[in-house]
Amino acid sequence: MDLRALYMYAAVPALLLCSAATFIQSPTDVFGPVSLLEPTPSSARDFGAVVSDAPFAIMRPGSAADVALLLRALSSSAKPRPRAAVAARGAGHSLQGQAQARGGIVVETRSLPRAVVVVAADVSGGDANAYADVGAGALWVEVLEECLRAGLAPPSWTDYLYLTVGGTLSNAGISGQAFKHGPQISNVLQLQVVTGNGDVVTCSPTESPDLFFAVLGGLGQFGIITRARIRLQHAPPKVRWVRAFYDSFEAFTQDQELLISMPEQIDYVEGFMVLNEHSIQSSSIAFPAHIDFSPDFGSDGSKKKVYYCVEFAVHDFQQDDGSTVDHVVELVSGAMSYIRPHMYSAEVSYFDFLNRVRMEEESLRIQGLWDVPHPWLNLFVPGHAVARLKDLLMDTVLAGHFDGAILVYPLLADKWNKNTSAVLPSTPDGGVMYVFSVLRSADPSRCGHRCVEEILEQHRRVADEACRAGGGGIGAKQYLARQPSQEHWRDHFGPGWDRLVARKARYDPVRVLGPGQGIFPWTDSATSMWR
């Protein structure tokens, strides 16, 4: 159908657009109050800064009904229908164009109502029995600020809070609390979703459960989340934040597993590799205690040495001198095998603890190192293979120059609901798996376009090797990645592929949604009419 035909297309709601360069508002009697706007530079950009696909138009919906109008028009069974793929875009912190829609429409969820409504039935007891209804375009930092006014907070976080609720729920949302409370997708009570068909559905584990679980970790494939109900718990006023250093990977992971076996005492567990002096400095920007650890990284020509840092936190509900928390830290540290005396701790407000990456962002912005390409690699690794994955990284990624951080911390698979779309490696008995996050930044003064391509290629090779299952393979799964082909997506989903395809056929049969993930390329003549 050409654009002239589209003008005459009045039987169903239609999008009226005249060219990629100009914008014409849809007539309100046909397309309601919804306007499509010319794309902005940010609609073809994300935090990764390695993919840039310009859409034909963007939309800033004011309600779920606006999103429904758009999706209903695009999935209508009337022939001919306007064709365009649609990507929801939250904060745009994807890494490989996942929130982009080449030649299609980007729906900016930040324009949806962002009110955070806290409902607390009973905050007096141990279990807060409370929740927050939040707009999907709200940033987690906005959710935190509002909930803290009521002394409450969601139990599960991401390390960085300037991500939208809809964006992280479409992936999983993990941080150091996930071993105890599961990922963010395990802490959702209800969602409002606009499906690819344009239906506005309220769903939960008991109401339209298949859609509910499909959308959680669903990579934006089945619907656009417009609202979420998030479980809340009591928020501690303060947190004791502890770091301990290691020269043995085995001792490092053993202590992490010790910590996650104590969920009654410990509230957060992460860790990172200490590759050089810079790793210690850059990771200490938000950590208020003075760290007096200057190890030998092999500068005298001997083999390069690597160290490790376990990070844990204990919520401090005491208003007094914090002696209960002191007792927990003393008890735990006595059982740990860090390099003595290199354990450091600080008392910080709960908000500052959760918002710690903001200080790193500000520092990187000042150095001009925030808005640069970020070739990242995130893997979930079965616990039994974590040392092999570390060795694989040491032989490849860490053999050359490295700018950035490598996070390593354990999660428990049985805290994840298997009905969601999130993909985990196989771990016997719902056991331990590790997050391995290779978070690189490419300083343009040292690493130009070609160098970024080489890093991406290296990560692809490592991911292929790490994700190989059977025959002694590590059997890892990638997190937050755009796979290079549908074959890779099939391998990624493994036995879950058929369920994914069935859910797609049910909720987005015309395959309007989520083109930036590259899972379901259009198969008919449905290449974008506006390309």
Applying CB under 6 A, among 76, 158, 187, 355 the residue interacting with ligand FAD is 158
Q: Return the number of other C-beta atoms located less than 10 Å from residue 196's C-beta.
A: 25
Question: Shortest approach of ligand FAD to residue 66 CB, angstroms?
Answer: 13
Q: What are the CA-CA distances from residue 373 to residues 162, 220, 242, 299, 454 (Å)?
A: 18, 23, 31, 29, 13
Report residue 243 as tokens: 């770091």
Count the alpha carbons within 13 Å of 159 in the hemisphere toward its beta carbon. 20
Report residue 448 as tokens: 């130009």
User: Helix (H, G, I), strand (E, B), or coil: what is residue 450?
Assistant: helix
Residue among 132 and 328 whose Cβ is closer to ligand FAD: 132
In this structure, which amino acid lies at residue 282?
S
Give the Cα separation of 159 and 444 in Å (integer): 25
The question of whether 270 is a catalytic residue gets the answer yes
Sole window of 17-25, 68-76, 83-91, 380-388 interacting with ligand FAD (rule: CB under 6 A): 83-91
Report residue 3 as tokens: 């654009």
Question: Shortest approach of ligand FAD to residue 240 CB, angstroms?
Answer: 21
Contact between 47 and ligand FAD (CB under 6 A)? Answer: yes
Applying CB under 6 A, among 36, 57, 99, 406 the residue interacting with ligand FAD is 99
Do residues 143 and 184 lie in contact, with contact meaning Cβ atoms separated by under 8 Å?
no
Question: Shortest approach of ligand FAD to residue 45 CB, angstroms?
Answer: 11
Residue among 256 and 343 whose Cβ is closer to ligand FAD: 256
Contact between 174 and ligand FAD (CB under 6 A)? Answer: yes
Contact between 421 and ligand FAD (CB under 6 A)? Answer: no
Applying CB under 6 A, among 91, 105, 128, 372 the residue interacting with ligand FAD is 91
Report residue 20 as tokens: 């990629």
Contact between 247 and ligand FAD (CB under 6 A)? Answer: no
Give the Cα separation of 401 and 250 in Å (integer): 24
Residue among 165 and 242 whose Cβ is closer to ligand FAD: 165
Place of tokens 């997506």: 489
Contact between 186 and ligand FAD (CB under 6 A)? Answer: no
> Residues binding ligand FAD: what is the number (CB under 6 A)?
36
Do residues 406 and 377 lie in contact, with contact meaning Cβ atoms separated by under 8 Å?
no
**Proportion of the chain in helix, strand, coil states, percent, rounded to 5:** 30, 20, 45
The question of whether 159 is a catalytic residue gets the answer yes
Sole window of 90-98, 314-322, 330-338, 467-475 interacting with ligand FAD (rule: CB under 6 A): 90-98
Instruction: For residue 50, give every residue at least 6 positions away whose Cβ sits within 8 Å of its Cβ, in sequence order, or none.
Output: 95, 96, 97, 373, 374, 375, 452, 456
Residue among 90 and 343 whose Cβ is closer to ligand FAD: 90
Contact between 166 and ligand FAD (CB under 6 A)? Answer: yes
Applying CB under 6 A, among 173, 196, 271, 382 the residue interacting with ligand FAD is 173
Contact between 423 and ligand FAD (CB under 6 A)? Answer: no
Catalytic residue among 46, 53, 93, 234: 93
Residue among 347 and 361 whose Cβ is closer to ligand FAD: 361
The question of whether 93 is a catalytic residue gets the answer yes
Instruction: For residue 336, give every residue at least 6 positions away whose Cβ sits within 8 Å of its Cβ, in sequence order, or none.
Output: 244, 255, 258, 310, 343
Give the Cα separation of 251 and 436 in Å (integer): 17
Catalytic residue among 133, 145, 159, 247: 159
The pairing of strands 105-108 and 57-59 is parallel
Do residues 66 and 49 lie in contact, with contact meaning Cβ atoms separated by under 8 Å?
no
User: Helix (H, G, I), strand (E, B), or coil: what is residue 297?
Assistant: coil
Question: Shortest approach of ligand FAD to residue 273 CB, angstroms?
Answer: 16
Residue among 46 and 66 whose Cβ is closer to ligand FAD: 46
Sole window of 171-179, 283-291, 330-338, 383-391 interacting with ligand FAD (rule: CB under 6 A): 171-179
Q: Which of residues 291-320 bind ligand FAD (CB under 6 A)?
A: none
Contact between 171 and ligand FAD (CB under 6 A)? Answer: yes
Rg from Cα positions in the chain: 24
Q: Which residues pair with 36 in a beta bridge?
A: 59
**Residues at the contact surface with ligand FAD, assessed by CB under 6 A:** 46-47, 87-94, 98-99, 109, 136, 158-160, 163-164, 166-168, 170-175, 219-220, 224-225, 480, 514, 516-517
Catalytic residues: 93, 159, 270
